Structure 1
Amino acid sequence: MDFNGMTVAITGAASGIGHATALTAARRGARIVALDRDGQALEDRRAQFEADGLALFPFALDIGDEASVRCSVDAISQVTPSVDLLVNSAGIVSRGLLENTTADEWERVLSVNLSGSFYCIQQMVPLLKAGTGRAVVNVASLASKRVSYTGGVAYTAAKAGILGLTRHAAFELAGDGIRVNAVCPGPVLTAMTKNATSEEDRQKVAAMVPLGAWLEPEDIAESILFLGSPAARMITGTSLDIDGGLSLVTGSSYEAYRRARQ
């Protein structure tokens, strides 16, 4: 997949799946518009990219705040007249059980994991229309179709919402030639995942995955870029499971779910 001359905007670009997607796309010729709440991490990434001869333009923002997103998109429009691919990867996890999840935690997780994707799509429509790629890929989760073991009820609800957003945006924006799809990663070894799980639990999960291992962020990046490329020019409104076959497994331990919150 050749992204030479294309502009790819990625939220959550400083770490995890977002960073892996940024690096993979940049190595294939794209210039990266990187959005993240961690401004210092973005600057570190820019230095790393420049050292490798790659282009990255950092924009620090609060993805869950509509005004912050609007301000950032205004700034992006001063750097580039168009965006060919928007990747909504930013996300946070919740840890509590349903009965002790606070209203603040619920609202913050939904604002970042769901509303932030809506804000970015809505505000970037003019830039996407001006591009040639005209694609959006939202990062949902296998939890959007099942439940999350590392996140809580707010995380599951938000990721399920991402699939609804994906379908509806794909329908409305098809008239503008903008495709909208989602990926649903299974267990991915990101820093956020490692912080939310123990080594013992990670080994148990690996044993449950039919392909025998956790996924790496780069595995998700490759699928994101496929959906954002001309190779997927007639694919829109759909979701792609990337889980090593975990969705084929029907049995799991409820006690493991509870232990993750104690």
Structure 2
Amino acid sequence: MDYNGKTVAITGAASGIGYATAQAAAQQGARIVALDRDVGALETMRVEFAGKGWAITPVEVDIGSEASIRVAVEQGMASVERVDLLVNSAGIVSRGMFETTTGDEWQRVLSINLSGSFFCLQQMVPLLRAGRGRAVVNVASLAAKRVSYTGGVSYTAAKAGMLGLTRHAAFELAHEGIRVNAVCPGPVLTAMTQRVISEEEQRQVAAMVPLGDWLSPQDVAASILFLGSPAARMITGTTLDIDGGLSLVTGASFESYRNARQ
């Protein structure tokens, strides 16, 4: 995959999957438009990328605010002439149980994990239209098709909505040559995950995955860049599961599955 001379805009770019995608695209020659609300992390990212000779435009934005997104695109991205790939990666996790989820929590999670992706795509259509890549990748989750064990009902609902957004946007924008796809990662071992989950819990999760390991942010980034590349030029409105085979698991371990057949 060659991103030389292309512009890749990424929300939630200062950490996790967004950061890994920015690194991978920059290594392939892309100019990165890094959108994030963490100004300090954006500055650290700018210094790091500049030190490596990578082109980067940091843009502060609150993805949960339509007004903030509009300002970010119209002012923060004023020097950006086109976007070849938009990656909607920003998101937060809810923790409450179904009956204890508050209205504020519900609205905040949906505003960031779903509405923010809609408004970013909507605002950047003219930039995508001007680009050569004309691709969008929405970062959903395996929870969109099942249920989230780390997040609450608002997280699951938002990620499921992301798949509906992906299909509908792909249908409407296809006549402009703009492709819209989604990735559904399984358990991803980010720096934040390593801080909040013990090593024993990490081993337990890895044991549940048929391929025997967590995903890394780089695993997801590679799939995102594939969907944004000419190699996927006839792929739109679809979802790519990146889960190490976890979606194949029905609840029983592989050992119990095998033992039942002996």
TM-score by length of 1: 0.94
Alpha-carbon separation, structure 2, partners of 1:117 and 1:252: 35
Q: Which runs of 4+ in 1 moved over 4 A?
A: none
TM-score by length of 2: 0.94
Q: How does 1:57-76 map to 2 (within 5 A)?
A: 57-76=57-76
> Are residue 245 (structure 1) and residue 245 (structure 2) matched?
yes
Larger Rg: 2
Q: Is the 8 A contact 1:86 1:137 kept in 2?
A: yes
Shift of 1:195: 4.5
Opposite residue 152 of structure 2, the aligned amino acid is G
- Unaligned 5+ residue runs, structure 2? 254-262
Opposite residue 208 of structure 2, the aligned amino acid is M
Aligned to 1:202: 202
Aligned length: 253
2:45 aligned counterpart, secondary structure: helix
> Are residue 127 (structure 1) and residue 127 (structure 2) matched?
yes
> Are residue 188 (structure 1) and residue 188 (structure 2) matched?
yes
Give the percent of matched residue pairs that are identical in Structure 1 and Structure 2: 74
Change (3 A) 1:199 1:68: same
Shift of 1:76: 4.4
Alpha-carbon separation, structure 2, partners of 1:43 and 1:151: 29
Alpha-carbon separation, structure 2, partners of 1:33 and 1:206: 33
Aligned to 2:260: none
Q: Is the 8 A contact 2:49 2:55 kept in 1?
A: yes
Shift of 1:95: 0.6
Shift of 1:252: 6.7
Aligned to 2:147: 147
2:188 aligned counterpart, secondary structure: coil
Q: Is the 8 A contact 2:59 2:77 kept in 1?
A: no
Aligned to 2:215: 215
Aligned to 1:100: 100
Alpha-carbon separation, structure 2, partners of 1:4 and 1:117: 25
Q: Deviations over 1:98-134 (max 9, x none)?
A: 1111111111000000000001000000000000100
2:183 aligned counterpart, secondary structure: strand
